């Protein structure tokens, strides 16, 4: 069977709302280490890899060994928080994944999050059916570089122009654009006015219809749309 297109999902803020757990883990890490967290650090770093956040945004250290130590500890704290407090898919996620499965659309996760975090939450939420995971460890450059999405497309066996990315952050949108892909933005973590580079903006994934997605692809040569379709 010829696959017309593939779905590439960011993780945090698209499939699960893990922002509170991440923010809490940064705060716990700062308390443990004595490092200072600058104002609005969390929203400015959303979608970026720890290896970018720690030296460039937080400016804690530029020593590679210390960056790695801090990054791994932060993710340990994150997983502790998730296991203790629990987590669930965002509203509309299961419905959208079921629609894609019925249409036999291949899907993959591509995220700046560490693989163990994603695998932990997939087990806790019983989400399956993804063709794979491209995580922080798989690419050298994080978003807004396109590497994570290009690798995800390659693992699906599709050209970038055959892929639709589902994102929630400006950094992710920039990465999808740099990869030459169409992108649907979900307003779960950022307001619509900051996501205007998307082809489509929706409040939740089940506002989308599978039939609408191919119309976003360059081969269809259709104008950009700004609202979701019903199923």
Q: Which class for 76: exposed (0-12), middle (13-18), buried (19 or more C-beta within 10 A)? A: middle
Q: Rounded to whole angstroms, how far apart are CA atoms 89 and 206? A: 12
Q: Which residue has the higher pLDDT, 40 or 196?
A: 196
| pLDDT tens per residue across span 179-225 | 999 999 999 989 999 999 999 999 999 999 999 898 888 764 443 43
pLDDT attached to residue 39: 86
Q: Which class for 42: exposed (0-12), middle (13-18), buried (19 or more C-beta within 10 A)? A: middle
> ∠ CA(130), CA(112), CA(20), 5° rounding?
95
pLDDT attached to residue 221: 40
| pLDDT tens per residue across span 118-175 | 999 999 999 999 999 999 899 999 899 999 999 999 999 999 999 999 999 999 999 9
| pLDDT tens per residue across span 47-71 | 688 999 999 999 999 999 999 999 9
pLDDT attached to residue 3: 66
Catalytic residue, candidates 10, 147, 168, 199:
10
Contact 49, 175 (CB under 8 A): no
Q: Rounded to whole angstroms, how far apart are CA atoms 89 and 126? A: 10
pLDDT attached to residue 175: 96
- For the entire predicted model, the pTM comes to 0.81
Asked about 10 being catalytic, the answer comes back as: yes
Asked about 12 being catalytic, the answer comes back as: yes
Q: Rounded to whole angstroms, how far apart are CA atoms 81 and 106? A: 31
Flag whether pLDDT at 6 surpasses 50.
Answer: yes
Q: Rounded to whole angstroms, how far apart are CA atoms 54 and 50? A: 6
In this prediction, residues 104-115 reach a mean pLDDT of: 94
pLDDT attached to residue 108: 98
Catalytic residue, candidates 12, 168, 199, 206:
12
Question: What does DSSP assign to residue 16?
Answer: B
């Amino acid at each position: 069977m010829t696959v017309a297109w593939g779905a590439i999902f960011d993780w945090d803020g698209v499939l699960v709302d893990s922002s509170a757990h991440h923010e809490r883990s940064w705060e716990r890490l700062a308390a443990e280490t004595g490092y200072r967290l600058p104002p609005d650090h969390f929203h400015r770093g959303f979608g970026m890899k720890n290896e970018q956040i720690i030296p460039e945004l937080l400016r804690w250290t530029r020593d590679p060994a210390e960056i790695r130590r801090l990054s791994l500890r932060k993710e340990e704290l994150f997983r502790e928080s998730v296991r203790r407090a629990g987590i669930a898919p965002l509203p509309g996620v299961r419905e959208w994944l079921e629609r894609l499965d019925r249409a036999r659309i291949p899907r993959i996760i591509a995220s700046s999050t560490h693989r163990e975090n994603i695998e932990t939450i997939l087990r806790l939420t019983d989400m399956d059916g993804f063709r794979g995971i491209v995580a922080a460890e798989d690419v050298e450059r994080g978003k807004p570089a396109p590497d994570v999405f290009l690798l995800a497309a390659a693992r699906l066996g599709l050209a970038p122009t055959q892929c639709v990315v589902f994102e929630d952050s400006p950094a992710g949108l920039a990465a999808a654009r740099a990869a030459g892909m169409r992108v649907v933005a979900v307003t779960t973590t950022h307001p619509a006015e900051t996501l205007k580079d998307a082809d489509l903006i929706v409040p939740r994934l089940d506002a989308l219809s599978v039939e609408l997605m191919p119309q976003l692809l360059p081969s269809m040569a259709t104008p950009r749309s700004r609202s979701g379709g019903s199923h």
